[in-house]
A and B are shown apart, each in its own frame.
Chain A
């Protein structure tokens, strides 16, 4: 084994004077940073193709693997949404589309998008790639575990997709999987389908835990010299807090999935009340279906913030870089992220207003729900204030950022409607809810992902993505998504229920048909527009404009590696030393409009920001 470590460098802790070489006649003392506490991480360097690209322990490769697999799963989710829209807009157009299939597609679409696409992509993809680079570590702290984490995810996806091919097909119970109907005959996929779904979720949680431990310990215990928590880019804060939420929320999902499987396999009655079927009493009895709802939403609500918090963090960084201004109210942003994360554990029953509950209980959850709007609104104000009088670059990344703010505010406002019990009860289970959560956690995070891809592609691939294609991609997605989801608010108000295969002869039909057709056409367009990105990536991977190092003139560490794209170990033979936060843009008196995190104070005397 030891020959694998030959090229391991042991580095002595160096004081910053030797690194920065002191400044222009200033006492080198102001550049002093405490020596390293922890010895250098020894890394396993793969040599063969398999250890370098497949069972790889480098967090950057694992991040890309997560990214690709999540995207692949997301495309399946997208295709399912097309099929659903085909049925809703043009009932009967596809002959294979039965009600059963429709339910299965709704379910798989929802679960795939929320868990296997967004969660995996933000935490597994961006988390792995960016955390070590942004905090100045050589890699995640447990590279082997990190690798296993990805492969668990791989198996989880495999199991999930396998359910399309088992007898009965995938489960069609809705992504919320509410018992008792989930495991009763008559619901599509109530046999193998639901079992594979539960198994896949359990595997996902296990795999995620391995990754999550890595992200947390890397942030807590493996930052580079000078990197305090309050100097970390908000991206890291977002992913970090989301991981904490995931570590505490996924257990509820795991327990729910396990108990559901036992109800199915062993015939226990955890969630199953006494049930009469065709005049006969089933074996089940005495269980509590509401218990599952509590378990599910104790996971489910934090889950939406598991997706949203990384998006908040990433967007803050993108806005700051591309408007050449420090993020407005950095500390407020950090505390808002942490506060939202904490509060998100106390609001789950707002998904259960219609399940029936004590009015005081509803009152409590409505109050906590509305309180969350406060830190969230603070963040929105801060994004806008960051843009305010900034030196805005109107590139593709910025477009995605602006698109995010608009869609997020839109979805947030409808959230405030739904947080109130009396408003929610008539709107629940209508298209208004669909519009709400797609705006806020479908489209808004998607915009962030896109912005992030256009922003960090030059780092990962060393080349820019094509701006022209990027702008087409943006406008098609933005206008298209609005065409899909804006009318859905109206559909919700007139009472069109969600998860209905067809409206039959209900009074909605006449007034909603045209709108449904329009929405479906827009959905086809938006889905198709995403392939512009794939085309763009393929096109620019080889022939795109070379980016060089730090093409956006950013301050944060990930752009300051000795090689672009960064190699295994990230930092060559010397770890970076950090002297400031990640947002010193447009500092008055400085030579350039940005001061990197590694610039020692002695090089920027007279700017007023020697140390930040």
Chain B
């Protein structure tokens, strides 16, 4: 990444540069959009939320006396009569990670002011997210069908159901919120709000393609969190 151009400010490389930026006036992160800085800090806070969830999960799993169910069995899916472990989850993860790719491309085309391409890619991302949520709903209903509930679990410790539904539910809510925003942003992109710098409906701030990058940060974060949830629930 090249440094932004700032009148009267000479960037320095490496650690010295960091110290100089920190000691300078006006901004700490030179040339970084306010909204983008905000999203990073929000995500840091959100990281703490998910960390609390996952640490609680470890503690809960560690302190229950009843045996924890075997993930390769509970999460297996019957394909042509053969139970394949982690099949659904592999597809879900693949879809979500792919949607991160389309999101990154959307950001790139946004900055190139390629309105059409950008809009389609956002839409593709939204559909990827929607597919993910749909598959998650399918997995939930399958588990519920088999008798797993937040308060009970025929396969072992009841905390399994509690933590599973709570944490994937919380993550799924994040994805759903992301999907809603993706649809809105797709609309705004196609309608040219970012090209015309039209003001936001509520915030009254001037629109800018940087908003897509900000949403992208959120989306990548949600994907990253999924990788952890995946590891903790399905591989442990």
Contact = CB atoms under 8 A, between A and B. Distances in A.
Interface of A: 1-2, 4, 13, 33-38, 42, 44, 141-142, 144-145, 209, 212-213, 216-217, 220-231, 247-248, 250-252, 254-256, 258-259, 262, 266-270, 283, 285-288, 291, 294-295, 298, 578
B1 to A, nearest CB: 17
Contacts of B170: 258
Contact of A217 (B23, B37, B49, B66): B37
A332 B13 CA distance: 28
Given A37-B6, A209-B42, A228 B199 contact: no
Given A217-B38, A252-B52, A33 B64 contact: no
Given A221-B37, A247-B45, A255-B53, A268 B26 contact: no
A229 B29 CA distance: 12
18 contacts: A1-B199, A1-B204, A37-B6, A141-B38, A144-B203, A145-B203, A228-B24, A228-B25, A229-B23, A254-B49, A254-B52, A255-B49, A256-B52, A259-B56, A266-B151, A283-B151, A285-B158, A291-B56
Contacts of A254: 49, 52
Top 6 A-B pairs ranked by shortest CB distance?
Answer: A251-B48, A268-B162, A255-B52, A267-B151, A251-B49, A286-B64
B48 A252 contact: yes
A291 B52 contact: no
B162 A34 contact: no
Interface string B27-44: 111111011011001101
Interface in B144-199: 150-151, 157-159, 161-163, 166, 170, 199
Given A223-B26, A248-B48, A35 B8 contact: yes
B150 to A, nearest CB: 5
Contacts of B162: 262, 266, 268-270
A291 B161 CA distance: 18
Q: Which of A44, A221, A227 has the most CB of B within 10 A?
A: A221
A37 B30 contact: yes
A37 B161 CA distance: 52
Given A255-B49, A269-B159, A287 B25 contact: no
Contacts of B56: 255, 259, 270, 291, 295
Contacts, number: 158
A227 B26 contact: yes
Interface string B64-79: 1110000000000000
A266 B60 contact: no
Contacts of B38: 141-142, 213, 216-217
B136 to A, nearest CB: 18
B63 interface: yes
A251 B157 CA distance: 26
A229 B22 contact: yes
A212 B150 CA distance: 33
A286 B26 contact: no
Contacts of B142: none
B81 to A, nearest CB: 35
A212 B45 CA distance: 11
Given A269-B151, A288-B63, A578 B45 contact: no
B7 A259 contact: no
A217 to B, nearest CB: 5
Nearest to B50: A251
A251 B43 CA distance: 12
Nearest to B203: A144
A217 B204 contact: no
B59 interface: yes
Given A34-B9, A217-B37, A268 B27 contact: no
B199 to A, nearest CB: 5
A239 to B, nearest CB: 15
Nearest to A577: B25
B44 A38 contact: no
Nearest to A255: B52
Contacts of A267: 150-151
Contact of B8 (A2, A34, A252): A34
Contacts of A142: 34-35, 38, 203, 205
A217 B44 CA distance: 14
Nearest to B46: A251
Nearest to B49: A251
A569 B6 CA distance: 25
Nearest to A247: B45
B202 interface: yes
Nearest to A15: B8
Contact of A270 (B32, B45, B159): B159
Contact of B26 (A145, A213, A217, A224): A224
A213 B39 CA distance: 9
B12 interface: no
Contacts of B22: 229
Contact of B29 (A13, A221, A228, A255): A221
B206 interface: yes
A225 B166 CA distance: 47
Contacts of B45: 209, 212, 247-248, 250-251
A33 to B, nearest CB: 7
Given A221-B32, A254-B49, A266-B151, A38 B202 contact: no
Contacts of B65: 286
Given A144-B202, A145-B203, A286 B159 contact: yes
A558 B163 CA distance: 49
Contacts of A258: 166, 170
